[in-house]
Amino acid sequence: MDYIFVLIYLCIACFIIKQFKITDTFHKIIVVALTTMIITGGFMIYFTSKKMTPNFFSRWFHTVGWSSLIYDSLLLCFIYCIYLYIENKLRH
């Protein structure tokens, strides 16, 4: 399931990067981080606004709270950096 979420988050970030024609690597990584924070923040607010249930996401967000934004952002940025590195190596 995590692979699907990572794919969805990166697809949304890449869509934004293409729409705004962002070419600078640093700015691309910032877009990935901000996109991840917005999406994860929305889910975190949704799940923590309700009583904790046995659902994995409910337990996760009630346990880690706002630090889930940092965790997810670092994870997605790291994966995106690896993607950029591999893409660069394949082009040359």
Residue type, 87: E
- DSSP label at residue 54: S
Helix/strand number for the chain, H first, E second: 4, 0
Token pair 């923040």 is found at: 41
Domain ranges for the chain, please list them: 2-91
Confidence of residue 2 (pLDDT cuts 50, 70, 90): confident
Tens-place pLDDT, residues 9-54 = 999 999 999 999 999 999 999 999 999 999 999 999 999 999 999 9
Measure the CA angle with vertex 51, ends 50 and 55; round to 5°: 95
pLDDT for position 62: 94
Checking if the pLDDT of 1 tops 80, the result is no
Helix (H) or strand (E) holding 87: helix 67-91
* Strand residues in 13-75 grouped as ranges (E): none
Statement: the pTM of the whole predicted model exceeds 0.75: yes
